[in-house]
Amino acid sequence: MLTVAVVGAGLMGRGIAGVFAGAGHPVRLHDVDADALHRAVDGLRGSERPVDGSTDLATAVSGADLVIEAVTENLPAKRDLFARLDGLLPEALLASNTSVLPVSAIAERATRPERVVGTHWWNPPHLVPVVEVVRGEYTGEETMERTTDLLASLGKLPVRVERDVPGFVGNRLQHALWREAVALVEHGVCTAETVETVVRNTIGLRLAAMGPLENADYVGLDLTLAIHEAVLPALDRSPAPSRLLRDLVAAGDVGAKSGRGFFTWPHGSRERAGEGLARHIARQLATAPDTPDGGPDGRPTGHPH
């Protein structure tokens, strides 16, 4: 049994704390916002889980074997936090839930940066199985192995990301799709509604059962190459965010939380969308075949590369 400290009591922090507490690990939650902290701790305690909280960082992390940081995506703030954690805990594993920032940069001011690792959880953390375990420039192999083993013991599906690239694996794939989706709307190829209809009713139906590289093998790499030669030169390759996206944000139309973005979001629709997404993920997990590494359903069992 490990003592786990989670720094940040927002949506992801309290969700991650709940996963560890649900597995029986004592958890301490920290946030500088006392109201947010109390709401999170009370919610988790309501589930009879071993969770405590403190607005004082040193108190919250005292004696922890593992600290997971889930604060705002701000590099100086994270770098300062890990420097403090390094001084407070000479032996603990120190993990960041950053989704895009370099783990190496977060660890820069730590005197023992080999203990710092990225653990990118996906929302909702209690449902999505994958956690990306990211090796920073200084992360030791023992840290990678201990972190991976611990996450697996929680029932998670840890995947190793061996290079500290922006966005890691999942967000690079996700935002490559999002960039093209925004470009199609920006350049008048189709409406935002059409993008949603096409994605949900074509590739969206297949992706949970067959990922992009397996699908490429399935249809044939010769066909994949021919399509790439025809399509890739026409895809959006801008190294900067789209002008349409910048204009929407500048106008305050930032999506569900403001009531308008690519779509109109009436009051309460964001919460309903989140609840619907959670139900959808739960249904998919309940009906998914238990053969992720190959087996009787004929899925591939490996790749020579």
Q: Residue 47 catalytic?
A: no
* Interatomic CA distance for residues 287 and 293, integer angstroms: 17
Residue 187 neighbours by CB under 8 Å, 6+ apart: none
Q: Is the dihedral of CA 152, 155, 156, 159 positive or negative?
A: positive
Given 30, 54, 69, 132, which residue is catalytic? Answer: 132
* Interatomic CA distance for residues 170 and 199, integer angstroms: 17
Place of tokens 């992390």: 61
Given 62, 171, 186, 196, which residue is catalytic? Answer: 171
Q: Residue 162 catalytic?
A: no
DSSP three-state, residue 94: strand
Given 54, 69, 97, 120, which residue is catalytic? Answer: 120
Q: Residue 62 catalytic?
A: no
Given 96, 97, 99, 242, which residue is catalytic? Answer: 99
DSSP per-residue codes, 98-149: -SSS-HHHHTTT-S-GGGEEEEEE-SSTTT--EEEEE--TT--HHHHHHHHH
Q: Residue 171 catalytic?
A: yes
- Residues labelled catalytic: 99, 120, 132, 171
